[in-house]
């Protein structure tokens, strides 16, 4: 997909999928389960566990530290109990993180992870790895770091539903006094497959699309999104970048000056 050079990516006002832009990116070419097992199979990573496959778990969340090989086996074992809890490496392990280095577990992959040219590296805050199985769902949320999100799909497919931050008053974010670290999540119980038909979103404009291996999705700062993993294994790398004043200033002026749209 071509890019209008007159509009810097960081100033895009809406989400955009760049189809096939990563076809020749090294992770897309190399990172299957055998490669990851050989490179980082013995490394320990922090994962989240959910009985329903919906993340994050608000009541009694469960986290574990397991090897990458164990994670991959849980995801790919065809004999595994289909009602067993789902395990998700949900961005807790980073390749880079502003102010300090990334996770030791991912260092063997650093030579592979040169950021695609579309990512403005001078504004990079953090990049992280996500690995999960089919039918995992994220709750509707905006990224709590307030950054733009360059979402690179390495394996599998993910379905996204996205809504403008101007709709925040309709999306029932969790109360900050009870969910201090999760107040950027919506309390709406939704799945991507159901969302286009949900009464909770009736009348609200939204974007709905799917990214597959070699695609990149750009999510502008503060846009709400919910995600469903569609294939037996999904591997994804996120690059978060500082928001552009050309994007953020007009948005904040509209939200503060006129209130979020009702």
List phi, psi (to 5°) of 169.
Answer: -70, -15
- In angstroms, the CA 243 to CA 125 distance is 10
Residues 6+ away with beta carbon under 8 Å from 21: 1, 116, 118, 214, 215, 216
DSSP codes of every residue in 65-103: EEEHHHHHHHHH-TTS-TTSPEEEEEEEEEEEETTEE--
Residues 6+ away with beta carbon under 8 Å from 203: none
What is the residue-level pLDDT of the chain in tens, covering all 262 positions? 334 444 577 778 899 999 999 999 999 999 999 999 999 999 999 999 999 899 998 888 899 999 999 999 999 987 777 778 899 999 999 998 876 779 999 999 999 999 999 998 888 999 999 999 998 999 999 998 889 999 999 999 999 999 999 888 888 888 888 887 888 988 876 655 665 566 667 778 889 899 999 999 999 999 999 999 999 999 999 999 998 888 888 888 888 875 555 5
């Amino acid at each position: 997909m071509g890019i209008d050079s007159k509009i810097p990516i960081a100033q895009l006002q809406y989400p955009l999928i760049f189809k096939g832009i990563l076809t020749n990116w090294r992770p897309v070419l190399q990172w299957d389960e055998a490669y990851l097992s050989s490179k980082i199979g013995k490394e320990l990573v922090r994962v989240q566990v959910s009985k329903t496959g919906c993340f994050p778990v608000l009541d009694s969340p469960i986290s574990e530290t397991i090897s990458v090989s164990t994670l991959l086996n849980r995801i790919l074992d065809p004999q595994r109990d289909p009602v067993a809890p789902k395990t998700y490496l949900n961005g807790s392990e980073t390749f880079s993180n502003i102010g300090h280095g990334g996770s030791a577990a991912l260092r063997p992959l650093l030579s592979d992870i040169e950021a695609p040219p579309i990512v403005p590296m001078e504004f990079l805050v953090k990049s992280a790895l996500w690995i999960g199985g089919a039918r995992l769902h994220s709750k509707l949320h905006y990224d709590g770091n307030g950054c733009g999100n360059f979402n690179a799909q390495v394996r599998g497919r993910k379905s996204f539903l996205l809504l403008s931050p101007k709709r925040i008053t309709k999306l029932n974010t969790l109360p900050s006094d009870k969910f201090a670290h999760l107040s950027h999540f919506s309390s709406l119980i939704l799945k991507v497959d159901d969302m286009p038909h949900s009464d909770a979103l009736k009348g609200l404009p939204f974007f709905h699309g799917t990214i597959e291996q070699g695609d990149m999705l750009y999510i502008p700062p503060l846009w709400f999104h919910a995600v469903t993993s569609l294939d037996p294994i999904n591997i994804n790398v996120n690059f978060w970048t500082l928001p552009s004043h050309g994007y953020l200033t007009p948005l904040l002026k509209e939200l503060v000056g006129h209130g979020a749209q009702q």
